[in-house]
């Protein structure tokens, strides 16, 4: 067992390096795209985490560009994943919640505590969408999908029907399947997996390791053909279940740091809020101290390293496009709240920064050791056109309508502005959150809460924790941004929540 080594240094700001490909001198780059599930912006070493250890992700960040203000297009899984696949905002595709959704299937009595009813949505990403997998396969790439899919309920919409030559592990489930904590201490992250798209391994095999191993086999099978590998970890989604020996390491570390003596849920009014327009209370974790969650992260990072080491060993790493992102913010206000997104407010399910700002890295061919840091706000919709341009493929503007190629930023263009970024989450996520929309434009972000029509405005450059609502003191700016958001929602024909006639306010 090779135990973790601490890696929490912040990378310094440096000039961005980019070496464009030319047909005469370079072959088309291979592409590895990594999605980590429910992985918070503050869960990585390069963003200052002192408890979690991510040496391999930190090394990747040192060789690429860190987008400090990188956003998932939604605060939950399915819509963000569809945005990567299609280059379209969830408001445009109609898939705005995790599939099938929090309110889906609730009876009338259970629905009565919600002031609004979420709009119906498709439960499958349409086959008519030209996914990033299909776009690269058109260019002669071998396309491989490994891990979580969660873009469809019907098996006829799984990765193998959406542009990927091989699908290992991708199906309807948004988290590892199986009964948690079965006898012997094993559960969903350990074989048997009960996944029709992933054969069981030896009893006790760890899912995250298995996905990493499958990636190596697929890359090896590509031969001389260019390949696109989409590695979608189930980690670090619940259930929080890690290797016991790694968990013990972090339990010891937590004791050494004195974290085991500190309540992870602060009583600070700025972080524990009984929001006046909500019908129930919630609390937020503000300290990273969960040893098993830390171990779950470490195994994920170890397998990121496994893939990167293979690329280096085979002489492929230099001429690679490697992207890493999370599908939404860390889980900090529900289901055990295993992590803290501090200094960001909120977490998964919320349109506060903790729910949508995520780790976001792009390494391009022959970019190495640049430690580039880009502060321009970018979205998960932007990966599609960026990858097409980096691989020399023709852009598909009708497909990636909401995505913008980030190549100018990767080249170091400091004046390039990708434009406003919009969010639409007309749902309850069961984490204290409520239906809302948001717009990020420049340093400012406005959130429009659909329940009671109130708005909040924050200057994120000055107030990354979203503590000071400027909606009244900067009323003209707030109303202008709200109008822009409303116009954009209309242009997408976004489906809105409606008032629940059976709503019964719960008194506490």
What integer pLDDT is reported at residue 235 of this predicted model? 98
Which residues partner with 457 through β-bridges? 446
What integer pLDDT is reported at residue 16 of this predicted model? 44
Q: CA-based diameter of the chain, in Å?
A: 70
What integer pLDDT is reported at residue 505 of this predicted model? 80
Two structure tokens written together for 233: 């970890």
Number of H helices, E strands in the chain: 12, 16
Nearest 5 degrees, angle CA 371-CA 373-CA 379?
A: 125
pLDDT tens per residue, range 354-400: 999 999 999 999 776 655 899 999 999 999 999 999 999 999 999 99
Give the torsion through C-alpha atoms of 471, 476, 482, 488, to 10 deg: -150
pLDDT tens per residue, range 429-449: 989 899 999 999 999 999 999
What integer pLDDT is reported at residue 335 of this predicted model? 87
Which regions in the chain score pLDDT beneath 50?
1-3, 5-25, 267-268, 270-280
Which residue's entry shows tokens 């972080």?
Answer: 271
Two structure tokens written together for 88: 């379209």
* 467 in Cβ contact with 454 (< 8 Å): no
* 329 in Cβ contact with 37 (< 8 Å): no
Query: Alpha-carbon distance 231 to 118, whole Å?
Result: 31
3-state secondary structure 41-77: HHHCHHHCCCCCCCHHHHHHHHHCEEECCEECCCCCH
Structural domains of the chain ordered from first start: 30-419 (3.40.720.10)
* 335 in Cβ contact with 238 (< 8 Å): yes
* 341 in Cβ contact with 41 (< 8 Å): yes
Query: Alpha-carbon distance 429 to 448, whole Å?
Result: 16
Q: Which residues of 355-369 are buried (b: 16+ CB within 10 A; e: fewer)?
A: bbbbbbbbbbbebee
Residue 444's φ and ψ, nearest 5 degrees, are -105, 145
pLDDT tens per residue, range 399-430: 999 999 999 999 988 889 999 999 999 999 98
3-state secondary structure 303-369: HHHHHHHHHHHCCCCCCEEEEEEECCCCCCCCCCCCCCCCCCCCCCCCCCHHHHECCEEEECCCCCC
pLDDT tens per residue, range 17-64: 444 444 334 589 999 999 999 999 999 999 999 999 999 999 999 999
**Sequence-distant (≥ 6) Cβ neighbours of residue 310 within 8 angstroms:** 215, 216, 219
What integer pLDDT is reported at residue 271 of this predicted model? 44
**Sequence-distant (≥ 6) Cβ neighbours of residue 141 within 8 angstroms:** 28, 31, 225, 226, 227, 228, 391
Helix (H, G, I), strand (E, B) or coil at 440: strand
* 266 in Cβ contact with 294 (< 8 Å): no
């Amino acid at each position: 067992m090779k135990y973790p080594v601490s890696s929490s240094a912040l990378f310094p700001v440096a000039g961005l390096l980019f070496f464009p490909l030319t047909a005469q001198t370079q072959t088309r780059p291979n592409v590895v795209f990594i999605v980590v599930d429910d992985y918070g912006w503050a869960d990585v070493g390069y963003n200052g985490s002192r408890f979690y250890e991510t040496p391999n992700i930190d090394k990747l960040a040192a060789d690429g560009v860190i987008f400090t203000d990188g956003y998932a297009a939604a605060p939950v899984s399915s819509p963000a994943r569809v945005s990567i696949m299609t280059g379209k905002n969830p408001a445009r595709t109609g898939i705005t919640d995790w599939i099938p959704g929090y309110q889906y299937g609730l009876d009338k009595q259970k629905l009565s505590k919600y002031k609004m009813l979420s709009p119906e949505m498709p439960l499958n990403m349409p086959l008519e969408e030209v996914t990033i997998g299909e776009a690269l396969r058109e260019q002669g790439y071998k396309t491989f999908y490994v891990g979580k899919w969660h873009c469809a309920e019907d098996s006829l919409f799984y990765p193998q029907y959406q542009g990927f030559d091989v699908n290992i592990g991708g199906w309807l489930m948004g988290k590892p399947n199986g009964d948690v904590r079965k006898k012997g201490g094993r559960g969903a992250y350990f074989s048997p997996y009960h996944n029709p798209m992933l054969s069981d391994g030896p009893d006790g095999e760890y899912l995250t390791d298995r996905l990493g191993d499958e990636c190596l086999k697929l890359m090896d099978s590509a031969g001389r053909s260019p390949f696109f590998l989409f590695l979608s970890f189930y980690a670090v989604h619940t259930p929080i279940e890690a290797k016991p020996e790694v968990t013990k390491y972090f339990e010891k570390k937590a004791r050494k740091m004195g974290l085991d003596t500190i309540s992870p849920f602060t009583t600070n009014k700025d972080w524990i809020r009984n929001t006046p327009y909500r019908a129930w209370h919630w609390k937020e974790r503000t300290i990273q101290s969960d040893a098993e969650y830390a171990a779950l992260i470490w195994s994920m990072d170890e397998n990121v390293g496994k893939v990167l080491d293979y690329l280096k060993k085979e002489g492929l790493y230099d001429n690679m496009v490697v992207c890493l992102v999370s599908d939404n913010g860390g889980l900090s206000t529900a289901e055990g709240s295993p992590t803290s997104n501090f200094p960001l407010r909120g977490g998964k399910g919320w349109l506060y920064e903790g729910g949508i700002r995520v780790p976001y890295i792009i390494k391009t061919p022959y970019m190495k050791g640049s430690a580039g840091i880009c502060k321009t706000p970018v979205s998960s919709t932007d990966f599609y056109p960026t990858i097409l341009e980096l691989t020399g493929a023709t852009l598909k503007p009708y497909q990636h309508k909401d995505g913008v190629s980030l190549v100018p930023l990767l080249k170091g263009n400091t004046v390039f502005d990708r434009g406003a970024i919009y969010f639409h989450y007309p749902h309850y996520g069961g984490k204290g959150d409520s239906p809302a929309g948001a717009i990020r434009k420049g340093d400012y972000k406005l959130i429009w809460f659909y329940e009671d029509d109130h708005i909040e405005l924050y200057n994120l450059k000055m107030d990354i924790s979203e503590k000071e609502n400027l909606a009244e003191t900067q009323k003209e700016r707030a109303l202008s941004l709200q109008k822009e958001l409303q116009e954009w929602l209309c242009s997408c024909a976004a489906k809105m929540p409606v008032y629940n006639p059976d709503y019964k306010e719960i008194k506490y």
